[in-house]
Structure 1
């Protein structure tokens, strides 16, 4: 019974994280490193950003399945369902809810971004606390760290840098909207402490 309750809460906080990410997108002052790639690919491909986010996470999830020495298919199925809801929630807020209002003040955009980052961080931290749902990128980095001499932090930052590099390459090559901006820096400084606070 307790496990079911915690799983329900995990799904709720997973969706809360999606809500926070959507707020950072609405602020339009740049986004986190991974989301900068998602947003750039979404503009380049004309596929909704929530769908792109889910697809990239699915790729990491498949990689985790291949690296997992003791894979539990039930857990991966649950994660797949969570990712579908995650991507759908981002699409819902980004394309149907948040277009109903506009922000003209740069200060308000910054405040909205900070709020979104805090909400996303709380959602992520709580999901990590319950340990029932995983975030594919973090799990992928953990598996790699277990099998090599490099640390989890090394792989996680490497993915961040890779995402930023690809986002910038696509942006300047195809003249897309620049997603690596001040919001990327704010997210880099703020997100991890909020996740740690919510997790403890």
Structure 2
């Protein structure tokens, strides 16, 4: 029964994270680095952003397998159904639920992205404290950390730099709208502190459901992605 409750909670949190990501995208004034990359590829290919996210994240799981090999477990493989659910929710929320809604006011979009980041950080914090599955980018960075002996926060920050540079290259090479804007800066400023606060706040409630992993403890000290 305890495991069933954890699974139900996991599904709920993934759905809420996906909806929060859709809200960030709906505001259209910039997103986090990983989502900026997915959205840039969407501008180039016309493929839905959630679908691009699924493809990219599955590639990261494959990267974990390449790096970890014998240490790659069923726990790592659980990322795949979570990835598919998350991308599906993002697509449904953005293109079905939120699509008919038009927001012409910049002030409202500004407020929307702040609310969206607060929700996203809170649900992501709860998801990480539940400690059932690691998000693909964090899992890949941890695999790199294990193989290179570089600390996880350093690897994660380098990953963000590489992703942002990739977005800038795509933006200028294909002359597409920039997905790195003021909203990206807002996310960098408020996301990590809210994430850490949410994790500490929810931790006592999740104590009976599972322990806090080493990955979670280290992630509290670094800015993390949206999806």
The TM-score, its normalising length taken from structure 1, stands at 0.94
Hey, what's the Cα distance between the residues in 2 that align with 1:166 and 1:145?
A: 21
SS at match of 2:78: helix
Hey, what's the Cα distance between the residues in 2 that align with 1:194 and 1:3?
A: 28
Contact 1:53 1:87 in 2 (8 A): yes
Shift of 1:7: 2.0
Task: Write the deviation string for residues 26-71 of structure 1: whole angstroms up to 9, x where unpaired.
Answer: 0010111111101000110111100001111111111122333433
Please show how residues 14-163 of structure 1 align to structure 2 within 5 Å. Answer: 14-68=14-68, 69-73=70-74, 75-163=75-163
Hey, what's the Cα distance between the residues in 2 that align with 1:169 and 1:72?
A: 35
Higher relative contact order (CA 8 A, sep 6+): 1
SS at match of 1:179: coil
Hey, what's the Cα distance between the residues in 1 that align with 2:23 and 2:36?
A: 14
Contact 1:19 1:119 in 2 (8 A): no
Residues 1:166 and 2:130 are matched in the alignment: no
Hey, what's the Cα distance between the residues in 1 that align with 2:152 and 2:77?
A: 24
Task: Write the deviation string for residues 126-174 of structure 1: whole angstroms up to 9, x where unpaired.
Answer: 1110110210111111122222232211111111111111111111121
Shift of 1:77: 4.0
Shift of 1:184: 0.6
The TM-score, its normalising length taken from structure 2, stands at 0.83
Hey, what's the Cα distance between the residues in 1 that align with 2:20 and 2:66?
A: 30
Task: Write the deviation string for residues 69-94 of structure 1: whole angstroms up to 9, x where unpaired.
Answer: 43323x34432111111001010011
Contact 2:76 2:134 in 1 (8 A): no
Where structure 2 has 5 or more consecutive residues not aligned to the other structure, the ranges are 201-227
Which has the larger helix fraction?
Answer: 1
SS at match of 1:100: coil
Hey, what's the Cα distance between the residues in 1 that align with 2:169 and 2:80?
A: 30
Contact 2:138 2:156 in 1 (8 A): yes
SS at match of 2:71: coil
Residues matched between the structures, number:
199
Hey, what's the Cα distance between the residues in 2 that align with 1:182 and 1:117?
A: 13
Hey, what's the Cα distance between the residues in 1 that align with 2:64 and 2:11?
A: 20
Where structure 1 has 5 or more consecutive residues not aligned to the other structure, the ranges are none
Contact 2:67 2:147 in 1 (8 A): no
Contact 2:76 2:133 in 1 (8 A): no
Shift of 1:119: 1.2
- The residue that corresponds to 2:185 in the other structure is 185
